[in-house]
Structures are given as C-alpha cells and as structure tokens.
Amino acid sequence: MKNSGKGFIFLAVMLPFVAEAQLSNPQQKTMIYPETKQENVKGTYFGTTVADPYRWLEDDRSEETKLWVEAQNAVTKAYLAKIPYRNDIRERLKKLMNYEKYSQPFKEGGYTYYYKNTGLQNQSVLYRQKEGGAPEVFLDPNTFSKDATSSMAGISFSKDGSMVAYQVSDGGSDWTRVIVLKANDKSVVGETLTDVKFSGIAWQGNTGFYYSSYDKPAEGSQLSGLTQYHKLFYHKLGTAQKDDQLIFGGDKTPRRYIGAGLTEDQHYLIISAANSTSGNELYIKDLKTKDGKIVPVVTNFDKNHSIIDNIGSKLFIYTNLNAPNGRVVTVDAAQPGVENWKELIKETENVLNASTGGGKLFADYIKDAVSMVLQYDMNGKLEHEIKLPGLGTAGGFGSKKEDKELYYTFTSYVYPATIFKYSVETGKSEVYKKSGVDFDPSNYESKQVFYPSKDGTKVPMILTYKKGIVLDGKNPTVLYGYGGFNISLTPAFSTANIVLMEQGGIYAVANLRGGGEYGEKWHLAGTKMQKQNVFDDFIAAGEYLIANKYTSKDYLASMGGSNGGLLVGTTLAQRPDLFKVAFPAVGVMDMLRYHKFTAGAGWNYDYGTAEDSKEMFEYLYKYSPVHALKPGVKYPATLVTTADHDDRVVPAHSFKFAATLQKDQAGDAPVLISIQTNAGHGAGKPTDKAIEEIADRWSFLFYNMGINYKK
C-alpha cells in the first residue's frame, strides 16, 4: 500500500547555590533535593480517596513547574558532573558514533533517495541521485532550527515522484507541520499545514493528499491537553488548510486514531480507524468511480487488519481475525466483507508480519523473537526463504511492484545494522552498505535462554556480552524490557551498548508477556488485570540472572522506556531489593490519570482505566508506580529521564514519580531526574542530546555500582 501510512517556594536565583553547595561531592551519602510542595489534592474512586499531592506538576505552563524543573536539573547536572570519568565516557561515545550511517534507499521518480549521517550530525540528511549521477542534498533537517531540535517526522512522494510533502517536528513533539515541494526544483507549493498529528500523507495524483489531525486541546496546553478524536482531511494544493475537506471522523464517526493510504495503482483509498492501540475498523473507497462511497470492510475493533496490496479489484489483507498469529486473505473489493474472505497464507505457530514488493508477498515471521522471511507469489505459492546472516532481525521488505530488486536491513545484538540488496527473481542477497562502526563481532556473543516466570510460563531472554567473561556475579548487567502494546523486542545492534560491554557488562533483553513475540495470546496475557504477569516476568528475569551468577543484586540495573518506564517504576516499587540501579525513561507512572492527557485514553486496551470498574481501579492503584512507593524503603539509585516536549507520555508522570521517590527514599542511593529541553518522547532526538543522555546513564550506572571505568 502506498503511504499507509506546578508549586513549591524556590527562587531561581538559588539554583547555582543548590547545585554547588548541596552536591559538591557526588560521593556524599545523604542527598538533599529541591523542596517539592505537597498540596491537599485528592481524587475519589469508587469510595476510595487517593491523595495526589503533586498534581500541580501536571501544569507544564506554570512558573512553579518551570522552577521545579530547573532546580531538579541543576541537582542532577551537578551530581553527574562530579563523576570523574563522565567525560571519558562521553568522548568514547562520540568516537564510537562518529561513522557514516545510511538508510535503505528508495526510488521516487527518476531518483534514488537515501538518508545519510556523516557521523555526528544531529539529524540525518536526505540525499538523492540519478543513475550514474552525483549525490545531492535534497533536504537537510539540520537547517530546520538553529539547535537542530527540529526533525523530519515523515515524507511522502506522489506516485510519479514529482511532488513531495514532508513533516517537521519541533522539539520532539508529535505535533507536526507539513511543507509541500515540487521535487524537481524544491520550490514550495502553497501554504504550510499546521497542527498535524499522528498522520501519514497519502497523495492522490499530484493535486492533493490525505492527512489526519486533531482539534487543538480545549483545555490545558497543546503538549498535555487531551486529544480525543482524529479527523481525516483531504488537502487540495493551492487552497487554504481551513478549507480542507473532512473525509472521515469528526462528530459523525468519532474515532481516536484514523489513518489513510492509497493502493499503489491509486484505485482505492484505504481508511483504518481505531479507538485504542489494538483493534481497528477498515474501510475502502473506489477513487475511479465518480462519487464513490466509503465502504466498510471490517466494522468492529476486535482484531487488527490492514490492506497490503491489490491487483485490480482483488484486495490482499493482513489480519489476525481467527488467527492470533496472523494470516493473509484476499477478497473482491465489490464485496469486501469478512464473510467473503479467502485464505491465501495460513496462520502458523510463528507470528506473521506481511508486506509486498516487486510483485511478491513477503512473510516476515518472528520465531522465538528472531526473524524468518519467506517470499510468496501473489497466488500464495512459496518461492524462496531468504537466507539471513544469522539469528537477528530483518526488516524493510517492501517496494514498488515494478522493482526487480529491493533492500532490507539485518541486525542483531552483535551484528551492526547492514543493508542488503535482494533479487526478487533469484532470492539472492548481497551486501549493499556495511556498518562503519568500530566493533568486532567476533569478540562478543549473544545467547538466548528461557527462564520460568512466577506462574511457570517460559519466557525468552537474550544475553549479550564480551566473550570470556567470568560468571562470578560481579558483571554490571542491564536488564531491559517493555512488555506491552503487542510490540516485539527483536535483536538490534546498539552502539551505546558497546560502552557497557567493553567494561565487562551484560545487556539482557527479556521478551515479556504483553509484547507481540508469540502473537495475540502473549499480548493479552500482559494486559489489564493480567498486567502483573509482565512485572513477574521481569522480576523472574532478574532472579534468573542472579541465580546463574551472570550478576548479583549489587550489579543489576533495570531499564525501560515509555511502557517500559512503567515496567521499571513498578518493579522498583515491588522489588526494591532486586536492583542496584534503575533507569525509568519517559514512563507512564500515574496509572489513575494517564488517560487524561494527550492520546493516553487510547492505551485503555492494554491498561484499562480507573473509571472502568472498582476492580480495575483497585488493580491499577496497587501497581501504579506513583502510588506503589512507600516511605521508609531503601530504593535503588534511580535516574529518571523525560523531556519537556514529550506529548506522548507527558513529563508530569516522571515529575510526580521523582518527587514521590525522593520523599520516600530511606536509603543513601540518589534519586535524580533529568529533564531534557526541546526534546520529546524520543523520535528525532539530536545526536548531541543522545550522546549526553547515554553518557549520563553509563556514568550513573558505573558510579553507583562502584565500578571504575577503564579507558
């Protein structure tokens, strides 16, 4: 398918004094934090009163919140700056990351386009070249803003490649603006579209395109206010955005998420609509029929579906309806209802992701969290199994129908991301671009283990480390997890992890329930009133690592972001004795109020909400990180990270968690929060900010484990 697409009393002038006088030595045992005012604010849920003393931190526009952020950042920066080897780690990271990086190329019009980063550029640059010609810069996001905090958030070309629309995110926000160009001379066409969010761009010919957005929040700021209902618009070039035609959504068909795309032949408009992060409706519109109607294909939100291709009126649909691990079906567009679907690729024991390219179907299976890719013809006949370099993750099997070759990327925890060129006819692959990172895979190894969770469920985990390490329980180990939203953690190389492994460290990734590694059943086993399974799986992973002497509680750290930040926050509260260090990043920490901000209400499929029922409230209240912390407990050394422009998981979650943890901490371990400015949930983060964040993490880890960093 084409392009489917806050207060306490604290004076600002006191900040330097706090940073220097209170934390002149990071080895100081007793931390002194900025005072955080507690207010007598409460909520009532099914007769239970819940104190919410830090609710004022939810107001991201208030001067009090701003001062609190500045005070906390001052304390954190002063602590980290005193760690003697932090600069050494930062310089090592800069050296490791200073190599050319390329994306998979793609063809539009008479050009081949690709992204390239010369090494330490904050944003990757989009280049293009004609066959036999020299590369030229097409778009350089480093020029979008003075500090490189504006980034490219998406790009879409018209079918003939002559028109292009690209999205710009400022400061990491999910809100974007859309700029339209003539591809040939890069001249701007029409006005810039604003206030676009969670949107692809689907061109219809060269005269206009479809995009999605929300009304601006009626209450609160644009970065934290609730965004309820998505709207699909058609924008005709040369007209004002205020005159754009509403195609789907709004008052008549209110949906939280709406996406659109066109089939490659421009025959059908495809609309996907959902109210949560799992399950969607599906609609089509025949664009070759005058006054064609929007026709339903699937009219409930029970399962996931997407149209991946068509041949004339024959539609190819990926679905997990009656197939928890996924399958591919076909149907005629004239009668597209579920009752007329015909199975083309059957469900297997492995989880399926499907795409098309070069007139073929590619079935990308996840088998025990690693990739296996098969090529089928459009009649469902198996043609090739793609021979991959090893156990890892392959991705990118998609291209135009006429392409004779396509590109994919393969990576693993010990295999830097490499781009391969693939012949659709022969099924042979060849290296197109090899990673230039200074890393010798022969010195490292990855090992998959299966361990029992609390209820006996076998959970896979991949451990990566330098060959020859001694299992004496003294290896600094980072346990990473996510466990939610049907997302699969498959092997991927990280330059940042080289620093950990060079110091004898272990990077462990547990494939927890709630993810998608074993299909819908695995996902559902970690949702709503089964969510404790996710935390049990993560705790059991830590216990396995200790029992098998990979590490010990004095050398074990937990790490996760977003839903994974929730994971780290909850397990820190439930098992503070298990971890020495914790890294909750951009986490969902207040489970009673998460659905009241931005698009948070869409997460209710995984979490449920405190308003659903008394039972659901009590379940959430018990594990919610902000509420599960208790005074007088010795908690791990914790570095909370968030960003002021995170409008996916608003920073108030992390603010309230850090304030509560600082208040309740009975031990000597530090509780710090780092709040990046002009940054968001993670996408588009400039290289320099990423390096600073990683240097902070490893410095904090080694220092609090008592490990001397070796150059």
State yes or no: pLDDT of 327 exceeds 60. Answer: yes
The residue written with tokens 């007329």 in the block is: 340
pLDDT score of 454:
98
- Residue-wise over 286-307: b if at least 16 C-beta within 10 A, else e? bbeeeeeeebebbeebebbbbb
Find the helix or strand (DSSP H, E) in which 421 lies.
Answer: strand 415-423
User: From the CB of residue 103, how many other CB atoms can be counted at a distance below 10 Å?
Assistant: 19
State yes or no: pLDDT of 407 exceeds 90. Answer: yes
* Contact indicator for 513, 522 with CB cutoff of 8 Å: yes
pLDDT score of 13:
26
Average pLDDT over residues 686-697: 94
pLDDT score of 683:
67
Query: No. of H helices and E strands in the chain?
Result: 12, 39
pLDDT score of 20:
29
State yes or no: pLDDT of 681 exceeds 70. Answer: no
Q: At what angle do helices 532-547 and 563-574 cross, to 10 degrees?
A: 70
d(CA 539, CA 355): 36
Lowest mean pLDDT among 16-20, 126-130, 456-460: 16-20
State yes or no: pLDDT of 154 exceeds 90. Answer: yes
> pTM score > 0.95 for this model?
no
pLDDT tens per residue across span 591-603: 999 999 987 888 9
State yes or no: pLDDT of 677 exceeds 90. Answer: no
pLDDT score of 221:
62
* Contact indicator for 392, 370 with CB cutoff of 8 Å: yes
> What would you measure as the largest C-alpha separation in the chain, in angstroms?
75
pLDDT score of 682:
63
State yes or no: pLDDT of 643 exceeds 80. Answer: yes
Question: Which of 298, 294, 300, 295 lies closest to 318, judged by CA?
Answer: 298
Average pLDDT over residues 43-53: 98
d(CA 584, CA 557): 10
Average pLDDT over residues 559-578: 98
pLDDT score of 411:
98
State yes or no: pLDDT of 710 exceeds 50. Answer: yes
d(CA 13, CA 17): 8
Task: Exactly one of 235, 384, 627, 681 is catalytic; name it.
Answer: 681
pLDDT score of 669:
98
Angle, alpha carbons 319-321-325 (nearest 5°): 70
562 flagged as catalytic: yes
pLDDT score of 225:
62
- Residue-wise over 15-39: b if at least 16 C-beta within 10 A, else e? beebbeebbeebeeeebebbebbee
Average pLDDT over residues 203-209: 97
In the beta sheet, which residues pair with residue 384? 375
What's the whole-number average pLDDT of the chain? 92
Per-residue confidence at 676, pLDDT binned at 50, 70, 90? confident
Per-residue confidence at 32, pLDDT binned at 50, 70, 90? very high
681 flagged as catalytic: yes
* Contact indicator for 508, 413 with CB cutoff of 8 Å: no
d(CA 711, CA 708): 10
Q: How many Cα atoms are found within 13 Å in the side-chain-facing hemisphere of 278?
A: 25
pLDDT tens per residue across span 460-473: 999 999 999 999 99
Residues of the chain with pLDDT > 70, as a percent, come to 93
pLDDT tens per residue across span 417-453: 999 999 999 999 999 999 999 999 999 999 999 999 9
Question: Which of 561, 601, 623 lies closest to 257, judged by CA?
Answer: 601
d(CA 205, CA 486): 35
d(CA 381, CA 344): 9
Per-residue confidence at 216, pLDDT binned at 50, 70, 90? confident
Per-residue confidence at 228, pLDDT binned at 50, 70, 90? confident
Q: How many Cα atoms are found within 13 Å in the side-chain-facing hemisphere of 569?
A: 32
Per-residue confidence at 659, pLDDT binned at 50, 70, 90? very high
d(CA 493, CA 496): 9
State yes or no: pLDDT of 110 exceeds 60. Answer: yes
pLDDT score of 675:
92
Amino acid at 485: F
Lowest mean pLDDT among 174-188, 220-234, 651-665: 220-234
Task: Exactly one of 562, 624, 654, 699 is catalytic; name it.
Answer: 562
State yes or no: pLDDT of 648 exceeds 90. Answer: no
Q: How many Cα atoms are found within 13 Å in the side-chain-facing hemisphere of 268?
A: 28
d(CA 217, CA 228): 8
pLDDT score of 61:
84
State yes or no: pLDDT of 71 exceeds 80. Answer: yes
DSSP assignment letter at 671: E
pLDDT tens per residue across span 236-286: 999 999 999 999 998 889 999 999 999 999 999 999 999 999 999 999 999
